[in-house]
Amino acid sequence: MVDQITKPLQGITKEVQSSMEAGKQGMQNMATGGAGLVATGFAIQNALMPAIEMDRKLGEVKSLGVLDEDLAQLSKTALWTSVQYGKSATDIVGASYDIKSAFGGISGAELSDITKSSAVLAAATKADTATITNYMGTMYGIFKNSADEMGTGIWSKQVAGMTAQSVEMFKTTGAGMSSAFTSVGANATAAGIAMEEQMAILGTLQSTMSGSEAGTKYRAFLGGVAKAQDKLGLSFTDSHGNMLPMLDILEELKGKYGDTLSVAQSAELDKAFGTKEATAMIKLLMADTQGLAGSIETLGQVQGMSKAEEMASAMTDQWERLQSVWFAVRAAVF
């Protein structure tokens, strides 16, 4: 009787155990398959992400009315520049949005040129792309007439080369020059002062002060120069009413006061210019007029952005460059 009862139970037990094993195996297979699908999804997303990120940034630029063929050129420029200098291609494309906003109706080729100039200058001067993009926009606002006459693409390369040369010559950075020109604004340009002279003055001043402070002092000088020439009995302007070059003004002041200023003479200049900021700038520049002359001449000889490219190449991190290559390959392929 025991045998008759236990045999069927043993069979049932085996069936249940078999079903449990099958179910267990099935659940494991499902989990493994699900994990495989998730892993595959992540792998696909990882492979496509560079293309997705680039597409998002290009979409932002397209919203400003940039044509598809110009976007394709911009994408190639950004990827190639990132590969050369190990910088983020998406940051470069993102910066072009601000460039397009600041420069207005420029061609696709000009947009690519200015974007590349900004990216190379950022790499050369240890500044982030956004700071230099803002700097380019500020400089365009200040020197718009000469930029449009030269062509904004060519002009941007000139600005990049001169700024990089300034960073090498003076105790400044790309961010410092940006702050300096932001503080000065268009005052010097309105007075007829060339870009190389403005850059040399601001660079020289930054040997002892920040960029924004240098710009503030230069602006104070420009604001008081017309009044000062009358009070001092000197001429700081030419026959057309344009301000004389800074070296000529310094020579005028040296002829009146000598190579250095006494306390009483400084007070007289404070009163003439209406501010101590202008006098502080004059004192610093009078100490080495020969050096200032050499700086102006050197900056005036800069052509294109070869100096910026040279400095950017020297500072390129090869590991970051390898990462940029891998990003560019995936962005281009997908």
Stated length of the chain:
334
Alpha helices in the chain (DSSP H): 2-62, 68-85, 89-103, 108-124, 129-142, 144-150, 152-169, 174-184, 187-190, 195-205, 211-232, 246-257, 263-273, 276-286, 289-300, 306-314, 318-333
Residue 19: burial class (beta carbons within 10 Å; 0-12, 13-18, 19+): exposed
Residue 255 domain boundaries: 43-333
Predicted pLDDT of residue 81: 93
pLDDT-derived band at 35, boundaries 50, 70, 90: low
50 pLDDT exceeds 90? no
Residue 222 lies in a domain: yes
Predicted pLDDT of residue 78: 93
Tens digit of pLDDT for each residue in 174-200? Answer: 889 999 999 999 999 988 899 999 999
Average pLDDT in the chain: 87
Q: How far apart are CA 77 and CA 31, in angstroms?
A: 45
Residue 30 lies in a domain: no
Residue 109: burial class (beta carbons within 10 Å; 0-12, 13-18, 19+): middle
Residue type at position 60: E
101 pLDDT exceeds 60? yes
pTM of the model: 0.81
150 pLDDT exceeds 60? yes
Tens digit of pLDDT for each residue in 318-330? Answer: 888 888 888 888 8
Residue 17 lies in a domain: no
Residue 14 lies in a domain: no
Residue 15 lies in a domain: no
Alpha helices in 170-194 (DSSP H): 174-184, 187-190
Q: How far apart are CA 200 and CA 162, in angstroms?
A: 10
For 21, the 3-state DSSP assignment is helix
Residue 221 lies in a domain: yes
Q: How many domains does the chain have?
A: 1
DSSP summary character for residue 316: -
Residue type at position 41: G
pLDDT-derived band at 282, boundaries 50, 70, 90: very high
1 pLDDT exceeds 50? no
Q: How far apart are CA 2 and CA 119, in angstroms?
A: 89
CB hemisphere CA count around 56 (13 angstroms) = 8
Q: Give 174's contacts (C-beta < 8 A, 6+ positions apart).
A: 121, 122, 124, 125, 126, 127, 131, 132, 135, 163, 167
Q: How far apart are CA 162 and CA 154, in angstroms?
A: 13
Over the Cα atoms of the chain, what is R_g? 32
135-166 b/e with 16+ CB inside 10 Å = b? bbbbbbbbbbeebeeeebbebbbbbbbbbbbb
Residue 33 lies in a domain: no
Residue 209 lies in a domain: yes
